[in-house]
Structure 1
Amino acid sequence: MRIPHIFEPTIGALGTDFNLSDDAAGHVGRVLRMQVGDQLRLFNGHGGEYHCEIVDSSKKYVTVRCIEFIDSECESPLAIHLGQVISRGDKMDFTIQKSVELGVSEITPLFSERCGVKLNGERLAKKHQQWQKIAIAAAEQCGRNRITTIHPPIALEQWLTQPSDATKLTLHPRAQHSIKTMPAPSAGVRFLVGPEGGFTDAEIHSSHEHGFMDIRIGPRVLRTETAALTVLSALQMQFGDLAN
Protein backbone atom coordinates (compact mmCIF):
# COMPACT_ATOMS: atom_id res chain seq x y z
CA MET A 1 0.00 0.00 0.00
CA ARG A 2 1.35 3.43 -0.98
CA ILE A 3 2.17 5.65 2.00
CA PRO A 4 0.83 9.22 1.52
CA HIS A 5 3.49 11.86 0.84
CA ILE A 6 2.46 15.14 2.53
CA PHE A 7 4.01 18.61 2.75
CA GLU A 8 4.41 19.81 6.35
CA PRO A 9 6.42 23.03 6.75
CA THR A 10 7.27 22.43 10.43
CA ILE A 11 8.36 18.92 11.37
CA GLY A 12 9.24 17.94 14.93
CA ALA A 13 12.45 16.26 16.04
CA LEU A 14 12.87 12.51 15.72
CA GLY A 15 11.03 10.61 18.45
CA THR A 16 8.71 13.52 19.30
CA ASP A 17 4.97 14.03 18.75
CA PHE A 18 3.63 17.15 17.03
CA ASN A 19 0.42 18.42 15.44
CA LEU A 20 0.18 18.80 11.69
CA SER A 21 -0.52 22.22 10.21
CA ASP A 22 -4.14 22.99 9.30
CA ASP A 23 -3.65 22.25 5.59
CA ALA A 24 -1.85 18.95 6.18
CA ALA A 25 -4.27 17.89 8.94
CA GLY A 26 -7.27 18.64 6.72
CA HIS A 27 -5.82 16.60 3.89
CA VAL A 28 -4.88 13.67 6.14
CA GLY A 29 -8.01 13.66 8.29
CA ARG A 30 -10.85 14.79 6.01
CA VAL A 31 -9.67 13.90 2.51
CA LEU A 32 -7.64 10.72 3.08
CA ARG A 33 -9.55 9.78 6.26
CA MET A 34 -6.46 8.28 7.84
CA GLN A 35 -6.62 6.78 11.32
CA VAL A 36 -4.40 6.31 14.38
CA GLY A 37 -1.58 3.88 13.49
CA ASP A 38 -1.48 4.84 9.80
CA GLN A 39 1.91 5.79 8.31
CA LEU A 40 2.88 9.06 6.60
CA ARG A 41 5.86 10.42 4.70
CA LEU A 42 6.27 14.12 5.51
CA PHE A 43 8.57 16.61 3.80
CA ASN A 44 9.27 20.26 4.57
CA GLY A 45 10.80 21.33 1.26
CA HIS A 46 14.40 21.35 2.53
CA GLY A 47 15.30 17.90 1.24
CA GLY A 48 14.64 14.38 2.39
CA GLU A 49 11.49 13.13 4.10
CA TYR A 50 10.32 11.90 7.49
CA HIS A 51 8.62 8.61 8.19
CA CYS A 52 5.83 9.34 10.70
CA GLU A 53 2.90 7.60 12.36
CA ILE A 54 -0.45 9.03 13.42
CA VAL A 55 -0.78 8.76 17.21
CA ASP A 56 -3.92 10.86 17.80
CA SER A 57 -6.63 12.38 15.65
CA SER A 58 -9.83 14.41 15.93
CA LYS A 59 -11.88 16.80 13.79
CA LYS A 60 -9.62 19.66 14.87
CA TYR A 61 -6.12 18.17 14.82
CA VAL A 62 -3.88 15.28 13.77
CA THR A 63 -0.91 14.35 15.95
CA VAL A 64 1.97 12.35 14.48
CA ARG A 65 5.19 10.85 15.82
CA CYS A 66 8.39 11.40 13.86
CA ILE A 67 10.11 8.01 13.57
CA GLU A 68 12.86 8.25 10.97
CA PHE A 69 14.52 10.68 8.57
CA ILE A 70 15.03 9.32 5.05
CA ASP A 71 17.63 11.13 2.95
CA SER A 72 15.97 10.63 -0.43
CA GLU A 73 15.68 12.95 -3.42
CA CYS A 74 14.25 12.74 -6.92
CA GLU A 75 15.32 16.19 -8.14
CA SER A 76 16.65 16.74 -11.63
CA PRO A 77 20.36 17.54 -11.97
CA LEU A 78 19.29 20.37 -14.29
CA ALA A 79 17.94 23.55 -12.67
CA ILE A 80 15.19 24.95 -14.89
CA HIS A 81 13.44 28.30 -14.49
CA LEU A 82 10.31 28.68 -16.61
CA GLY A 83 9.11 32.14 -17.58
CA GLN A 84 5.51 31.50 -18.63
CA VAL A 85 3.21 34.23 -19.93
CA ILE A 86 -0.07 33.78 -18.05
CA SER A 87 -2.72 31.89 -20.00
CA ARG A 88 -6.50 31.99 -19.68
CA GLY A 89 -8.80 29.84 -17.56
CA ASP A 90 -7.30 26.75 -16.00
CA LYS A 91 -4.51 26.46 -18.59
CA MET A 92 -2.02 28.20 -16.31
CA ASP A 93 -2.97 25.89 -13.42
CA PHE A 94 -2.38 22.90 -15.70
CA THR A 95 1.00 24.23 -16.86
CA ILE A 96 2.20 24.76 -13.29
CA GLN A 97 0.99 21.36 -12.09
CA LYS A 98 2.59 19.39 -14.91
CA SER A 99 5.79 21.47 -14.94
CA VAL A 100 6.32 20.59 -11.27
CA GLU A 101 5.82 16.90 -12.09
CA LEU A 102 8.42 17.25 -14.84
CA GLY A 103 10.98 18.68 -12.42
CA VAL A 104 11.00 22.46 -12.98
CA SER A 105 12.84 24.37 -10.23
CA GLU A 106 11.21 27.80 -10.52
CA ILE A 107 8.30 29.37 -12.39
CA THR A 108 7.68 33.06 -12.94
CA PRO A 109 4.24 33.97 -14.36
CA LEU A 110 4.61 36.85 -16.81
CA PHE A 111 2.54 39.62 -18.35
CA SER A 112 3.26 40.40 -22.00
CA GLU A 113 1.64 42.68 -24.57
CA ARG A 114 -0.64 39.94 -25.93
CA CYS A 115 -1.36 38.32 -22.56
CA GLY A 116 -5.14 37.91 -22.38
CA VAL A 117 -5.30 37.82 -18.57
CA LYS A 118 -5.82 40.99 -16.52
CA LEU A 119 -5.04 40.59 -12.83
CA ASN A 120 -3.98 43.11 -10.23
CA GLY A 121 -4.09 43.86 -6.53
CA GLU A 122 -5.88 41.38 -4.32
CA ARG A 123 -6.97 39.15 -7.21
CA LEU A 124 -3.37 38.81 -8.35
CA ALA A 125 -2.17 37.99 -4.82
CA LYS A 126 -4.85 35.30 -4.43
CA LYS A 127 -3.99 33.79 -7.81
CA HIS A 128 -0.31 33.67 -6.85
CA GLN A 129 -1.18 31.85 -3.60
CA GLN A 130 -3.35 29.40 -5.57
CA TRP A 131 -0.50 28.64 -7.98
CA GLN A 132 1.90 27.95 -5.09
CA LYS A 133 -0.64 25.55 -3.55
CA ILE A 134 -0.93 23.77 -6.91
CA ALA A 135 2.87 23.38 -6.93
CA ILE A 136 2.80 21.91 -3.40
CA ALA A 137 0.04 19.44 -4.30
CA ALA A 138 1.94 18.41 -7.44
CA ALA A 139 5.10 17.78 -5.38
CA GLU A 140 3.08 15.63 -2.98
CA GLN A 141 1.65 13.61 -5.85
CA CYS A 142 4.89 13.00 -7.75
CA GLY A 143 7.14 12.34 -4.74
CA ARG A 144 9.35 15.43 -4.83
CA ASN A 145 10.78 16.54 -1.48
CA ARG A 146 11.43 20.10 -2.58
CA ILE A 147 8.84 22.71 -3.54
CA THR A 148 9.00 24.54 -6.86
CA THR A 149 9.11 28.28 -6.21
CA ILE A 150 6.27 30.17 -7.90
CA HIS A 151 7.51 33.75 -8.07
CA PRO A 152 5.10 36.70 -7.97
CA PRO A 153 3.91 37.60 -11.49
CA ILE A 154 5.89 40.37 -13.18
CA ALA A 155 6.17 42.07 -16.57
CA LEU A 156 8.06 40.20 -19.30
CA GLU A 157 10.66 42.97 -19.66
CA GLN A 158 11.42 42.85 -15.94
CA TRP A 159 12.07 39.09 -16.09
CA LEU A 160 14.28 39.42 -19.17
CA THR A 161 16.55 41.89 -17.38
CA GLN A 162 17.13 39.71 -14.30
CA PRO A 163 20.83 38.75 -14.06
CA SER A 164 21.52 35.05 -14.59
CA ASP A 165 24.36 32.78 -15.75
CA ALA A 166 21.86 30.18 -16.98
CA THR A 167 21.43 29.28 -20.64
CA LYS A 168 18.59 31.47 -21.90
CA LEU A 169 16.07 30.10 -24.38
CA THR A 170 12.97 31.45 -26.10
CA LEU A 171 10.55 29.06 -27.71
CA HIS A 172 9.89 30.12 -31.32
CA PRO A 173 8.31 27.96 -34.06
CA ARG A 174 10.57 29.39 -36.79
CA ALA A 175 13.88 29.29 -34.90
CA GLN A 176 16.99 27.88 -36.55
CA HIS A 177 18.27 26.14 -33.41
CA SER A 178 16.84 23.13 -31.59
CA ILE A 179 17.48 21.57 -28.18
CA LYS A 180 19.45 18.77 -29.88
CA THR A 181 21.95 21.22 -31.35
CA MET A 182 22.40 23.55 -28.35
CA PRO A 183 25.44 23.17 -26.06
CA ALA A 184 24.98 21.55 -22.64
CA PRO A 185 23.97 24.14 -20.02
CA SER A 186 26.62 24.74 -17.36
CA ALA A 187 24.48 26.80 -14.97
CA GLY A 188 20.90 25.68 -15.55
CA VAL A 189 18.31 26.93 -18.02
CA ARG A 190 15.90 29.85 -18.17
CA PHE A 191 13.34 29.41 -20.90
CA LEU A 192 10.54 31.63 -22.04
CA VAL A 193 7.12 30.57 -23.33
CA GLY A 194 4.79 33.13 -24.85
CA PRO A 195 1.04 33.77 -24.70
CA GLU A 196 -1.66 32.26 -26.86
CA GLY A 197 -1.25 35.14 -29.33
CA GLY A 198 2.54 34.87 -29.44
CA PHE A 199 5.20 37.50 -28.74
CA THR A 200 5.36 40.80 -30.59
CA ASP A 201 8.38 41.53 -32.79
CA ALA A 202 9.55 44.05 -30.18
CA GLU A 203 9.39 41.42 -27.42
CA ILE A 204 11.36 38.92 -29.50
CA HIS A 205 13.94 41.62 -30.23
CA SER A 206 14.18 42.45 -26.52
CA SER A 207 14.73 38.80 -25.62
CA HIS A 208 17.62 38.66 -28.10
CA GLU A 209 19.15 41.80 -26.62
CA HIS A 210 19.12 40.14 -23.18
CA GLY A 211 20.90 37.01 -24.37
CA PHE A 212 17.98 34.66 -25.11
CA MET A 213 18.39 32.25 -28.02
CA ASP A 214 15.40 31.16 -30.09
CA ILE A 215 14.83 27.40 -30.25
CA ARG A 216 12.23 25.20 -31.89
CA ILE A 217 10.92 21.80 -30.82
CA GLY A 218 9.36 20.69 -34.08
CA PRO A 219 7.58 21.90 -37.22
CA ARG A 220 4.19 22.47 -35.58
CA VAL A 221 2.90 25.48 -33.63
CA LEU A 222 1.97 24.30 -30.13
CA ARG A 223 -0.53 25.74 -27.69
CA THR A 224 1.08 27.66 -24.85
CA GLU A 225 0.25 25.00 -22.25
CA THR A 226 1.64 22.25 -24.50
CA ALA A 227 4.79 24.15 -25.38
CA ALA A 228 6.15 24.49 -21.85
CA LEU A 229 5.69 20.80 -21.07
CA THR A 230 7.25 19.70 -24.36
CA VAL A 231 10.34 21.85 -23.80
CA LEU A 232 10.66 20.60 -20.22
CA SER A 233 10.48 16.99 -21.37
CA ALA A 234 13.06 17.59 -24.09
CA LEU A 235 15.44 19.35 -21.69
CA GLN A 236 15.14 16.54 -19.15
CA MET A 237 15.78 13.98 -21.87
CA GLN A 238 18.82 15.78 -23.27
CA PHE A 239 20.45 17.29 -20.17
CA GLY A 240 18.51 16.30 -17.03
CA ASP A 241 16.75 13.25 -15.59
CA LEU A 242 17.34 10.95 -18.57
CA ALA A 243 20.61 12.34 -19.90
CA ASN A 244 22.82 9.56 -18.49
Structure 2
Amino acid sequence: MSIPRFYLDQPLARGARFSLPPGPARHAARALRLAVDDAVVLFNGQGGEYAARIERIQKDDVAVSITGFADIERESRLHVMLAQGISSGERMDYTLQKAIELGVAAIQPIAARRSVVKLTGERADKRVAHWQGVVASACEQCGRNRVPPVAAPLALAHWLGQRVADRSSIDPPVGGRLLFLSPLAAARLADLPAPSGMDCLVAGPEGGFEADEIAALQAAGAIPVRLGTRVLRTETAALAALAAMQTLWGDF
Protein backbone atom coordinates (compact mmCIF):
# COMPACT_ATOMS: atom_id res chain seq x y z
CA MET A 1 0.00 0.00 0.00
CA SER A 2 1.35 3.41 -0.98
CA ILE A 3 1.76 6.12 1.65
CA PRO A 4 -1.30 8.42 1.73
CA ARG A 5 -0.72 11.91 0.32
CA PHE A 6 -2.54 15.07 1.40
CA TYR A 7 -2.58 18.50 -0.22
CA LEU A 8 -2.59 21.34 2.32
CA ASP A 9 -2.98 24.96 1.25
CA GLN A 10 -0.68 26.29 3.96
CA PRO A 11 3.05 26.75 4.71
CA LEU A 12 4.89 23.54 5.55
CA ALA A 13 8.31 23.07 7.16
CA ARG A 14 10.42 20.31 8.64
CA GLY A 15 9.70 19.97 12.38
CA ALA A 16 6.22 21.56 12.20
CA ARG A 17 3.42 20.00 14.27
CA PHE A 18 -0.27 20.77 13.67
CA SER A 19 -3.74 19.32 13.15
CA LEU A 20 -4.88 18.50 9.63
CA PRO A 21 -7.70 20.64 8.19
CA PRO A 22 -11.19 19.10 8.48
CA GLY A 23 -11.34 17.58 4.99
CA PRO A 24 -8.01 15.73 5.04
CA ALA A 25 -8.55 14.82 8.70
CA ARG A 26 -11.89 13.13 7.97
CA HIS A 27 -10.39 11.30 5.00
CA ALA A 28 -7.43 10.10 7.08
CA ALA A 29 -9.52 9.00 10.05
CA ARG A 30 -12.71 7.66 8.45
CA ALA A 31 -11.89 6.58 4.88
CA LEU A 32 -8.29 5.45 5.28
CA ARG A 33 -8.58 4.48 8.96
CA LEU A 34 -5.04 5.60 9.67
CA ALA A 35 -3.54 5.11 13.13
CA VAL A 36 -0.98 6.79 15.38
CA ASP A 37 2.56 6.50 13.96
CA ASP A 38 1.32 5.85 10.43
CA ALA A 39 3.33 7.66 7.75
CA VAL A 40 1.77 10.27 5.47
CA VAL A 41 3.09 12.63 2.80
CA LEU A 42 2.10 16.30 2.73
CA PHE A 43 2.54 18.86 -0.06
CA ASN A 44 1.35 22.43 -0.58
CA GLY A 45 1.84 22.91 -4.31
CA GLN A 46 5.02 24.94 -3.89
CA GLY A 47 7.28 22.07 -4.94
CA GLY A 48 8.61 19.03 -3.17
CA GLU A 49 6.88 16.94 -0.52
CA TYR A 50 7.11 16.46 3.23
CA ALA A 51 7.32 13.19 5.13
CA ALA A 52 5.16 13.21 8.24
CA ARG A 53 3.70 10.87 10.81
CA ILE A 54 0.44 10.85 12.72
CA GLU A 55 0.84 11.80 16.38
CA ARG A 56 -2.80 11.76 17.49
CA ILE A 57 -6.24 10.73 16.20
CA GLN A 58 -9.34 11.62 18.17
CA LYS A 59 -12.43 11.27 15.99
CA ASP A 60 -11.83 13.86 13.23
CA ASP A 61 -8.90 15.56 14.96
CA VAL A 62 -5.72 14.27 13.35
CA ALA A 63 -2.41 15.75 14.50
CA VAL A 64 0.77 15.25 12.47
CA SER A 65 4.45 16.11 12.75
CA ILE A 66 6.67 16.75 9.73
CA THR A 67 9.86 14.72 9.84
CA GLY A 68 11.55 15.49 6.53
CA PHE A 69 11.48 17.11 3.11
CA ALA A 70 12.21 15.65 -0.34
CA ASP A 71 12.79 17.92 -3.31
CA ILE A 72 10.88 15.62 -5.66
CA GLU A 73 9.09 16.81 -8.80
CA ARG A 74 6.93 14.68 -11.07
CA GLU A 75 5.99 17.33 -13.62
CA SER A 76 6.06 16.48 -17.30
CA ARG A 77 8.66 18.06 -19.55
CA LEU A 78 5.75 18.71 -21.94
CA HIS A 79 3.95 21.92 -20.93
CA VAL A 80 0.31 22.05 -22.02
CA MET A 81 -2.62 24.25 -21.04
CA LEU A 82 -6.01 22.63 -21.56
CA ALA A 83 -8.80 24.98 -22.67
CA GLN A 84 -11.78 22.71 -22.17
CA GLY A 85 -15.32 23.45 -23.27
CA ILE A 86 -17.48 23.18 -20.15
CA SER A 87 -19.42 19.93 -20.08
CA SER A 88 -22.26 18.76 -17.87
CA GLY A 89 -22.59 16.40 -14.94
CA GLU A 90 -19.50 14.45 -13.97
CA ARG A 91 -17.96 14.73 -17.44
CA MET A 92 -16.02 17.88 -16.60
CA ASP A 93 -14.75 16.44 -13.31
CA TYR A 94 -13.58 13.30 -15.11
CA THR A 95 -11.82 15.29 -17.85
CA LEU A 96 -10.01 17.51 -15.34
CA GLN A 97 -9.01 14.61 -13.10
CA LYS A 98 -7.51 12.59 -15.94
CA ALA A 99 -5.92 15.66 -17.56
CA ILE A 100 -4.00 16.23 -14.32
CA GLU A 101 -2.83 12.61 -14.37
CA LEU A 102 -1.70 13.22 -17.96
CA GLY A 103 0.40 16.19 -16.90
CA VAL A 104 -1.42 19.40 -17.94
CA ALA A 105 0.08 22.55 -16.44
CA ALA A 106 -3.03 24.77 -16.37
CA ILE A 107 -6.75 24.58 -17.12
CA GLN A 108 -9.01 27.19 -18.71
CA PRO A 109 -12.72 26.31 -18.71
CA ILE A 110 -14.36 27.63 -21.89
CA ALA A 111 -18.01 28.69 -22.09
CA ALA A 112 -18.95 27.71 -25.62
CA ARG A 113 -22.26 28.26 -27.41
CA ARG A 114 -23.19 24.60 -27.06
CA SER A 115 -22.08 24.22 -23.45
CA VAL A 116 -25.03 22.74 -21.58
CA VAL A 117 -23.89 24.21 -18.25
CA LYS A 118 -24.11 28.02 -18.00
CA LEU A 119 -22.07 29.55 -15.18
CA THR A 120 -22.15 33.12 -13.91
CA GLY A 121 -21.49 34.98 -10.67
CA GLU A 122 -21.49 33.02 -7.43
CA ARG A 123 -22.35 29.77 -9.20
CA ALA A 124 -19.25 30.11 -11.37
CA ASP A 125 -17.08 30.84 -8.32
CA LYS A 126 -18.38 27.72 -6.54
CA ARG A 127 -17.82 25.56 -9.59
CA VAL A 128 -14.24 26.79 -10.02
CA ALA A 129 -13.56 26.05 -6.33
CA HIS A 130 -15.00 22.57 -6.86
CA TRP A 131 -12.85 22.00 -9.96
CA GLN A 132 -9.76 23.20 -8.10
CA GLY A 133 -10.54 20.61 -5.43
CA VAL A 134 -10.83 17.91 -8.11
CA VAL A 135 -7.40 18.98 -9.42
CA ALA A 136 -5.84 18.91 -5.94
CA SER A 137 -7.25 15.44 -5.27
CA ALA A 138 -5.88 14.21 -8.60
CA CYS A 139 -2.45 15.55 -7.63
CA GLU A 140 -2.68 13.64 -4.34
CA GLN A 141 -3.44 10.45 -6.24
CA CYS A 142 -0.90 10.71 -9.06
CA GLY A 143 2.06 12.05 -7.08
CA ARG A 144 2.32 15.58 -8.47
CA ASN A 145 3.64 18.15 -6.00
CA ARG A 146 2.53 21.20 -7.95
CA VAL A 147 -1.18 21.92 -8.30
CA PRO A 148 -2.17 23.37 -11.70
CA PRO A 149 -4.50 26.38 -11.50
CA VAL A 150 -8.08 26.33 -12.78
CA ALA A 151 -9.00 29.74 -14.22
CA ALA A 152 -12.42 31.36 -14.10
CA PRO A 153 -14.66 30.34 -17.03
CA LEU A 154 -14.50 32.62 -20.05
CA ALA A 155 -16.48 32.79 -23.27
CA LEU A 156 -14.35 31.53 -26.16
CA ALA A 157 -14.20 34.93 -27.90
CA HIS A 158 -13.25 36.69 -24.66
CA TRP A 159 -10.51 34.17 -23.91
CA LEU A 160 -9.09 34.36 -27.44
CA GLY A 161 -9.04 38.15 -27.28
CA GLN A 162 -7.33 38.06 -23.89
CA ARG A 163 -4.79 35.55 -25.18
CA VAL A 164 -3.93 37.68 -28.22
CA ALA A 165 -3.58 40.79 -26.03
CA ASP A 166 -1.36 39.00 -23.53
CA ARG A 167 0.91 37.59 -26.22
CA SER A 168 1.20 40.89 -28.12
CA SER A 169 2.26 42.69 -24.94
CA ILE A 170 5.48 40.63 -24.86
CA ASP A 171 8.32 41.72 -27.14
CA PRO A 172 9.33 39.46 -28.76
CA PRO A 173 6.22 37.27 -28.52
CA VAL A 174 6.75 33.98 -26.74
CA GLY A 175 4.73 30.88 -26.13
CA GLY A 176 3.67 27.70 -27.85
CA ARG A 177 0.99 26.82 -30.34
CA LEU A 178 -2.77 27.03 -30.14
CA LEU A 179 -4.23 23.68 -31.17
CA PHE A 180 -7.89 22.77 -31.42
CA LEU A 181 -9.45 19.38 -31.92
CA SER A 182 -11.58 18.96 -35.02
CA PRO A 183 -12.73 15.72 -36.71
CA LEU A 184 -12.57 17.64 -40.04
CA ALA A 185 -8.92 18.66 -39.72
CA ALA A 186 -6.36 17.41 -42.21
CA ALA A 187 -3.40 17.36 -39.82
CA ARG A 188 -2.74 14.86 -37.06
CA LEU A 189 -0.70 15.55 -33.94
CA ALA A 190 1.99 13.26 -35.37
CA ASP A 191 2.31 15.61 -38.37
CA LEU A 192 3.37 18.53 -36.16
CA PRO A 193 6.91 19.30 -34.97
CA ALA A 194 7.82 19.13 -31.29
CA PRO A 195 6.63 22.18 -29.33
CA SER A 196 9.00 25.01 -28.43
CA GLY A 197 6.89 26.45 -25.60
CA MET A 198 3.66 25.80 -23.72
CA ASP A 199 1.06 24.56 -26.20
CA CYS A 200 -2.60 25.26 -25.58
CA LEU A 201 -5.00 22.46 -26.47
CA VAL A 202 -8.60 23.51 -27.09
CA ALA A 203 -11.39 20.92 -26.83
CA GLY A 204 -15.05 21.64 -27.41
CA PRO A 205 -18.09 20.81 -25.26
CA GLU A 206 -20.89 18.37 -26.07
CA GLY A 207 -21.77 18.98 -29.71
CA GLY A 208 -18.49 20.74 -30.45
CA PHE A 209 -17.93 24.36 -31.45
CA GLU A 210 -20.24 26.28 -33.77
CA ALA A 211 -19.04 27.62 -37.12
CA ASP A 212 -18.35 31.16 -35.89
CA GLU A 213 -16.38 29.80 -32.92
CA ILE A 214 -14.24 27.70 -35.25
CA ALA A 215 -13.71 30.78 -37.42
CA ALA A 216 -12.61 32.75 -34.33
CA LEU A 217 -10.13 30.02 -33.40
CA GLN A 218 -8.67 30.00 -36.89
CA ALA A 219 -8.49 33.81 -36.94
CA ALA A 220 -6.48 33.60 -33.70
CA GLY A 221 -3.98 31.31 -35.43
CA ALA A 222 -5.23 28.02 -34.01
CA ILE A 223 -4.11 24.85 -35.77
CA PRO A 224 -6.90 22.27 -36.29
CA VAL A 225 -5.87 18.67 -35.57
CA ARG A 226 -7.81 15.42 -35.75
CA LEU A 227 -7.71 12.24 -33.72
CA GLY A 228 -8.27 9.47 -36.22
CA THR A 229 -11.44 9.05 -38.26
CA ARG A 230 -13.89 8.72 -35.37
CA VAL A 231 -15.72 11.47 -33.47
CA LEU A 232 -14.82 11.33 -29.78
CA ARG A 233 -16.98 12.46 -26.87
CA THR A 234 -16.08 15.65 -25.04
CA GLU A 235 -14.78 13.77 -22.01
CA THR A 236 -12.62 11.55 -24.24
CA ALA A 237 -11.19 13.87 -26.89
CA ALA A 238 -8.84 16.02 -24.79
CA LEU A 239 -7.58 13.00 -22.84
CA ALA A 240 -6.79 11.06 -26.01
CA ALA A 241 -4.98 14.11 -27.40
CA LEU A 242 -2.98 14.62 -24.20
CA ALA A 243 -1.93 10.97 -24.15
CA ALA A 244 -0.82 11.25 -27.78
CA MET A 245 1.10 14.47 -27.07
CA GLN A 246 2.87 12.84 -24.13
CA THR A 247 3.78 9.88 -26.33
CA LEU A 248 5.11 12.10 -29.12
CA TRP A 249 6.88 14.80 -27.13
CA GLY A 250 6.54 14.16 -23.41
CA ASP A 251 7.47 11.50 -20.87
CA PHE A 252 5.43 8.50 -21.98
Please indicate, yes or no, whether the TM-score normalized by the shorter chain is above 0.5: yes
Alignment partner, residue 93 of structure 1: 93
Structure 2 matches for 1:1-244, cutoff 5 A? Answer: 1-161=1-161, 162=163, 163-164=166-167, 165-242=175-252
Q: Is the 8 A contact 2:29 2:60 kept in 1?
A: no
Deviations 1:1-32 (A, max 9, x none): 31101112224421231222222222212221
Larger mean CA deviation between 204-213 and 26-35 belongs to: 26-35
Tell me whether 7-16 or 224-233 shows the greater mean CA deviation.
7-16
Residues in 2 aligned to 1:10 and 1:146: alpha-carbon distance in whole angstroms? 13
Counterparts of 2:60 and 2:98, CA distance in 1: 32
Secondary structure of 1:118's counterpart equals coil
Q: Is the 8 A contact 1:37 1:55 kept in 2?
A: yes
Distance 2:189 2:23 in 1: 40
Preserved CA contact (<8 Å) 2:12 2:44: no
% same residue: 43
Distance 2:21 2:197 in 1: 36
Instruction: Specify the SS of the correspondent of 1:47.
Output: coil
CA distance in 1, matches of 2:14, 2:121: 42
Unmatched 5+ stretches in structure 1: none
Further displaced range: 194-203 or 40-49: 194-203
Q: Is the 8 A contact 1:77 1:241 kept in 2?
A: yes
Given that 2:181 and 2:203 are in contact with CA atoms closer than 8 Å, whether structure 1 keeps it comes out as: yes
Query: Which portions of structure 1, spanning 4 or more consecutive aligned residues, are displaced by more than 3 angstroms?
Result: none
The whole-number CA distance in structure 2 between the counterparts of 1:88 and 1:198 is 13
Superposition deviation, residue 55 in structure 1: 1.0
- Does the Cα contact within 8 Å between 2:100 and 2:135 map onto a contact in 1? yes
User: Residues 153-209 of structure 1, C-alpha deviation per residue, up to 9 Å, x if partnerless?
Assistant: 111112222134221101011111111111211111101111211211211111111
Q: Distance in 1 between matches of 2:50 and 2:156?
A: 39
3-state SS of 1:187 partner:
coil
Mapped to 2, the partners of 1:16 and 1:203 lie a distance apart of 51
Unaligned stretches of 5+ residues in structure 2? 168-174
The answer (yes or no) to whether the contact 1:101–1:138 under 8 Å persists in 2 is yes
Q: How many residues align?
A: 242
Q: Distance in 2 between the 1:117 and 1:13 partners? A: 41
Amino acid corresponding to residue 118 of structure 1 in structure 2? K
Structure 2 residue matching 1:55: 3-state secondary structure: strand
Deviation at 1:60, TM superposition (A): 4.5
Question: What's the Cα RMSD here?
Answer: 1.3
Q: 1:16 to 1:155 in 2, by over 3 A?
A: same
**TM-score for the superposition, normalised by structure 1:** 0.94
